[in-house]
Chain A
Amino acid sequence: MKFTKLLATAAVAMGLATTAMAEKTKVGFIYVGPVGDGGWTYEHDQGRKAVVEAFGDDVETVYQENVPEGADAERAITQMALQGADLIFTTSFGYMDPTINVAKKFPNVKFEHATGYKTAENVSVYSARFYEGRAVQGHIAGKMTESNIIGYIASFPIPEVIRGINSAYIHAKKVNPDVQFKIIWAYTWFDPAKEADAAKALIEQGADVILQHTDSTAPQAAAQAAGNVITFGQASDMAEYAPFPRVSSIIDNWGPYYVARTKAVMDGTWETANTWDGIGPGMVGIGEISDHVPADVKAEAMDMVAKLASGEYHAFTGPINKQDGTPWLAEGETADDGTLAGMNFYVEGIEGSIPN
């Protein structure tokens, strides 16, 4: 008798608890690196904090960091869905298939996968047009280099990274025909030791500008130690290295998107989407161009930022040939999103080949 009563009370209490919880929208985040990486994951976590700030007590956020891509990711995502998350952001390319798998099992949970291409009824994809920022970097780099050698720390040979290299090269070449790119593939998104080694190797080869597509500040520190090399912040502002060696940066600004998508889930208006936003909508930010850059170069760069933002200028505007000399874009023609999304070739002038 007593026991059944106890059970009943517990059931009521649990029922109450569940309804109380249900009012809060629970948003989960899966991170590939540590939240303190100062780059990619750090900025996603800033986005999470923006969600907390925007909705306060109406929202509960959870996250898991350092989640390896593959089978472990599938478990981490499942675990969040089981714990009652309404919306889950999976913030690395390698979470694509795990996200799709888990989404099939939880049709009522919404999923958002960063930088992938597979969508479903309850899976959206989103990414940023980082290549617009690369165009600005390329312009500054081409103007600033004295050795005419620009070092590039690339992560993995995937379209996103290749797009960045091409965009930076095109704009560096435009202002400095003698410029040469040296590219090192680090095969990591975040490994301070490897990134520092790559930066040192590039500096030894004469590079006086280092561009990086990896997330740690190790290349910035290596440039600082060298003393005559400039860098750009990646994913995050990396302002602690400003005004020199860091002269500007590409900042991923996920906050507005995360807030908007959370709002859509709350309002019941969430729909599958394929978002690819650039400087204009504010998903890509250009960090302050420091005074180490001459005023005229800075003005030109700011002008380019404004034109990219307004859509007046596209970072891939012809004439552009592919590396093997075959024409890609005719005079005045701009690249279509399909080709950009699957970009697997260098443009004319870049030396070396894409590893495969």
Chain B
Amino acid sequence: MIQLERRPQPSRFWSFFTPVVAVIVTMIAGGLLFAALGKNPIEAIRTIFYDPLFGEFSFYYRPQLLVKGGPLILIAIGLSLGFRAGIWNIGAEGQYILGAICGAAVGLAFYPTESVFIFPLMIIAGLLGGMAWAMIPALLKVKFGTNEILVSLMLVYVAEQLLASMSLGLLRNPEGHGFPGSRNFQSYESGHNAELIAGTGLHWGLAAAFIAVILAYVLLNKHILGFNIRLTGEAPRAARFGGVNPTRLIVLCMGISGALAGMAGLFEVSGPSGQISIDFNVGYGFTAIIVAFLGRLHPIGILLAGLLMALTYIGGEIAQANLGLPAAAIQVFQGMLLFFLLALDLLSNFRIRFAAKGAV
């Protein structure tokens, strides 16, 4: 008879190791899935986890890991602050879109002027755009007590419509023969978020992600705001008695997460993606939620989780093209990762006791 016993404190050991175990269990279950599809499971797992890092073409894939992981990390860091305080911003995807639209609009307004001031202005516009979009659910919650999960999520769909409208109207490339999509920033030097060192995949968005990781770490460990965030999440009543202002905290956490998501959108639209188009957003804002939890809402954890997630994406693509695995199998594989992580959370919150039936 197996019994579960709630731990007085979550186990430090298990909260550190469950992500590792979850990855291993995912590999095993994923391997079984791939075997059931008639593929060699060892080869499939190797293609996903090993080839991008050390395979024949890793010179190309390693930088791509950074390109793919950068926005995930940047968004997840912002989300983790709110999540720690029990403020659930689910709409980072929308804030990401708005950041891209606002930043790109500023850049395109200056076209074809060349100046070193344009890109910083675009970053500020992206940041403000994302923040403003996040302020809608934040202020509605503060003023009217609405549910920020629902409002922020619904605003994603509004943002997608806005994106479609922008690609077809206001921001459409006037030289694009009537086709949707803006001018491409890759051919507009002042507005292009180019690689800082050629061939490394390192662009300003990654630099911003690394800075965000460091700042979040300092904030959570050394700053009173970080303490208040943690206190509110772990003991809301104590926080209230301790003088934490919940209104201020909601606005701050939503604002920071929106700003970081908006910046991620701007860095993406001006760099790897290059243009505002109807299908510009590919789900970074949602995947970042998984990254935040996979990284245990800890800045360093998020950094690693973002890179791991990027690895499953890129490895998954290679497996699709080289082994003929269907795209759906790769998505199931990624879903398993989150599923096992949440399931294994049991280990950090509960102790498993093996006891004879009837024994006390």
Contacts and interface: CB of A to CB of B under 8 A. Distances in A.
Contact of A65 (B177, B186, B275, B327): B327
Contacts, number: 94
A158 B169 contact: no
A241 interface: no
Interface stretch (B105-113, B239-247, B266-274, B290-298): B266-274
B179 A158 contact: yes
Contact of B322 (A66, A83, A156): A83
Given A65-B327, A71-B268, A101-B186, A79 B318 contact: yes
Contacts of B348: none
B82 to A, nearest CB: 27
A62 interface: yes
Interface string B161-184: 100110011001000011111001
Contact of B277 (A69, A82, A157, A342): A69
Contacts of B68: 75
Interface string A68-81: 11111011101110
A319 B124 CA distance: 53
B359 to A, nearest CB: 53
A71 B178 contact: no
A355 B278 CA distance: 13
Nearest to B331: A66
A82 to B, nearest CB: 5
Contacts of B172: 356
Interface residues of B, number: 38
A62 B322 contact: yes
A323 interface: no
Contacts of B322: 62, 83
A34 B178 contact: no
Nearest to A32: B279
Contact of B321 (A70, A80, A356): A80
Given A34-B328, A65-B327, A356-B172, A94 B277 contact: yes
Contacts of B282: 68, 70-72
Nearest to B268: A71
B178 A343 contact: yes
Given A64-B320, A70-B279, A356-B168, A75 B179 contact: no
Given A28-B321, A34-B327, A343-B178, A75 B314 contact: yes
B326 interface: yes
A159 B320 contact: no
A344 interface: yes
Given A62-B322, A63-B321, A187-B164, A342 B177 contact: yes
Contacts of A75: 64, 68, 314, 317
B268 A187 contact: no
B179 A83 contact: no
Contact of B168 (A70, A82, A157): A157
Interface in A337-356: 341-344, 355-356
30 contacts: A35-B326, A63-B321, A63-B324, A64-B327, A70-B272, A70-B273, A70-B277, A71-B67, A74-B272, A75-B68, A78-B60, A79-B60, A79-B321, A80-B321, A82-B57, A82-B60, A93-B179, A97-B184, A97-B186, A97-B274, A158-B179, A159-B178, A187-B161, A187-B164, A341-B177, A342-B177, A344-B178, A355-B168, A355-B169, A356-B172
Given A62-B324, A66-B327, A69-B279, 11 more contacts: A62-B322, A64-B317, A65-B327, A68-B282, A74-B272, A75-B68, A76-B317, A76-B321, A97-B274, A342-B177, A343-B178
Interface of B: 57, 60, 64, 67-68, 161, 164-165, 168-169, 172, 177-181, 184, 186, 268, 272-275, 277-280, 282, 314, 317-318, 320-322, 324, 326-328
